Structure 1
């Protein structure tokens, strides 16, 4: 007799669905004949409905997870697939984010139909992005540009660009790779100038704490390397009280010798003031390393750094 399907919760954007299908396909391949049937359940979130305002004004990145997490808590789905960079560090009681797929490319890209690079944009050109981090990084490098809030899924942002609403936009290379849209990339931005958001490029899987059946399934596709890096990055973000109201970048890498390297950056929304730092240590100390670097950056910024610059 066929068992009940394992229900995978996801947002309904093309990228979210591509990520959910990747998780399903990896589970089916890893489990082989023992794989249960899977059902993808699309859940519309507040973040998908509110498109006329910056997320920083209406509740932050949790707007992309609230309804999905409610379904998870209620038992309407068995686990949820997320872009890790959309996940707040504080999860609802009883939920965990501790399974990850192998990480994609973490870099940002510049896209324009008329200009070959960010450096080539003329003064006063308009760059559209929904990310406060990207806005701040653009202004840090090119204070002569106009940066505007630019919401919507990948395809709608590309359509707006084609229609001339902005001169250029910035997106994550990982998402374009997963959608097979690499051909739209004009310039891959160097990590030195554009360090990524915490969790960028990593698909995270959220589940109920103590659900041993689901955790046993997810263990078959979990990438420990990515898990260690995300533990460090999310600990950094947590120490900074980070949300999408705050321009923060963080990127961890794990060397073949087991050494974890973590870089962190905080900026004011106008990009005029920035503090960064680096730490290295054992993979086993990932969370402590992240917390320590976060505390150091917070000290560098001073008590008013975040309070004085609400996500403008």
Structure 2
């Protein structure tokens, strides 16, 4: 892939949370180093505004990206930087995922002012998360825990923890590390304990599909091993009707051309046991990665996992 032949003037649409701004500034610096002129357009999304209900009850992942897409459509911005796990599995017509960057730590982090690990929590301890995936995985590990909703940006979540509203919370390790808050992490969950969400820790850059000049400008930022991994993970989620309302985990690792993907589906009501599936194959293209993800989803469904049909 080659760099755009001439420098572009690029406006980045971004959410205004501290983490989202860090991510946008990171992309801005990389593009400026390649000769482009870059500005930021900070925006507040519906997902940022609705904090009293879980995302699964108010519209899912798309609430964090819709306003940014409108800015792209209207020409007020040219690219949008997203945490990939917040991006719906299917892009709206006229839009394209043009770049997936090198992944930060994809795992979940255990954060607590008092306890050093999940095992150290006392019976009935209160753990905060609004992720259905984390909820079902935590319930499988510790059925005795009380899982309570936790919304807001990273700083808000940590403040609520420090105020004593929770004994512990579970967050993406990537966000804490990107903001230099590694010291808040008491333990990193291994994938065998807490399987990550599809795309967790990766940044995706969205453009209008007809802007090939922008796709060319973003090409040097692409990290293909990450893109292959998240393509497989997102294919699992897509096949399962993926949105925030699906209690689903998917995590791929790549060793040379050999990809292994693990996935898990849980029942939020706790009636069915956690269903897990794993598949390994040679993967060198995104199409192969997506095919592998679809195979894993088929295994989940065959074992009893339910596809979400909610819009």
TM over 0.5: yes
For residue 98 of structure 1, report the CA deviation from its aligned partner.
3.5
1:198 deviation in Å?
A: 0.3
Cα distance in 2 for residues equivalent to 1:268 and 1:3: 50
1:187-198, aligned counterparts within 5 Å?
Answer: 187-198=187-198
1:69-108 equivalences in 2 (<5 Å): 69-108=69-108
Tell me the SS of whatever aligns to 1:301.
coil
Q: What's the offset of the Cα at 1:210?
A: 2.6
Q: How far does the alpha carbon of each residue in 1:123-180 deviate from its partner, in whole angstroms, 9 at most, with x for none?
A: 1110011211111111111111100110011111111111101111000111111000
Counterpart for residue 25 of structure 1: 29
1:291 equivalent in structure 2: 294
The residue number in structure 1 matching 2:174 is 174
**Matched-pair contact (CA < 8 Å) for 2:31–2:38:** no
3-state SS of the aligned residue for 1:277? strand
Which residue number in structure 2 is paired with residue 15 of structure 1? 19
Q: Deviations over 1:54-98 (max 9, x none)?
A: 111111111111111111122221010000000111221011114
Question: 1:5 Cα deviation (Å)?
Answer: 3.0
- Name the CA distance, whole Å, in 1 between partners of 2:258 and 2:7: 43
In structure 2, the residue matched to 1:277 is 277
Cα separation, partners in 2 of 1:126 and 1:155, compared to 1, 3 Å:
same
Q: Quick check: 1:98–1:227 contact (8 Å CA) kept in 2?
A: no
- Alignment match, 2:117: 117
2-structure distance, mates of 1:281, 1:19: 32
Unaligned stretches of 5+ residues in structure 1: none
TM-score by length of 2: 0.93
**Unaligned regions of 5+ residues in structure 2, if any?**
1-5
Relative to the length of structure 1, the TM-score reads 0.92
The answer to whether the 8 A contact 1:102-1:202 is kept is yes
